[in-house]
Amino acid sequence: MAKAAYSTRNIGHYGLSFEYYSHFTSPIRRYPDMMVHRLLEKYLNGERSANEQKYESLCKHSSDMETRAAYAERASIKYKQVEFMQEHIGKIYRGVISGITDWGIYVELLNKIEGMVPIRELDDDFYIFDEKNYALVGRHSNKTYQLGDDVTVKIWRTNLERKQLDFLLTEKEEIDDLEW
């Protein structure tokens, strides 16, 4: 789904099928909410229409800042996850395949920390990315890794600067329990 953006143009709400739509998230009080509150008060008091160009610029700025804030939040969470997992290199955990790409398999551990198994580390076969089915399929063995599959991974390496966590697939061995 495309990220919603603030605008002075009324395009309704696709998901709710509303022809006219404005939102505000009281009591959070983001700046766009305050703009809506102020404009409603202005119009209820019979004042003139606001300058559309000015408000369109404020809407664009608010959308840009919200995107930056969401990115910063994700980056800080990922940083702390990688920092935490540095203490667990070599340990083995259960996870679920949460993403498949032509460069690897994303695995989410039970504690919601996500890392990746690089495709070049799958050395038991030559794996082909099946984009239609979100799967990696072994050319010779026909072994398949698909979204939602349960897997066992070993924490292989961490890179705090890049906020990267790499796993290796492993056979079911003794699982290490994290205390979370």
Closest CA to 37 of 18, 17, 22, 15: 22
Residue with tokens 């990696």: 136
Residue 2 pLDDT exceeds 90: no
Q: What is the CATH number of domain 89-169?
A: 2.40.50.140
Going by DSSP bridges, is the β-strand pair 92-100/150-159 parallel, antiparallel, or unpaired?
Answer: antiparallel
Using one digit for the tens of pLDDT, what is the confidence trace for 144-153?
999 999 999 9
- pLDDT value at position 180? 45
Q: Which two tokens stand for residue 159?
A: 């890179």
Using one digit for the tens of pLDDT, what is the confidence trace for 60-114?
998 898 889 889 999 999 999 999 999 999 999 999 999 999 999 999 999 999 9
CA angle 56, 33, 31 (to 5 degrees): 70
pTM of the model: 0.74
Which residues of the chain are in CATH 2.40.50.140 domains?
A: 89-169
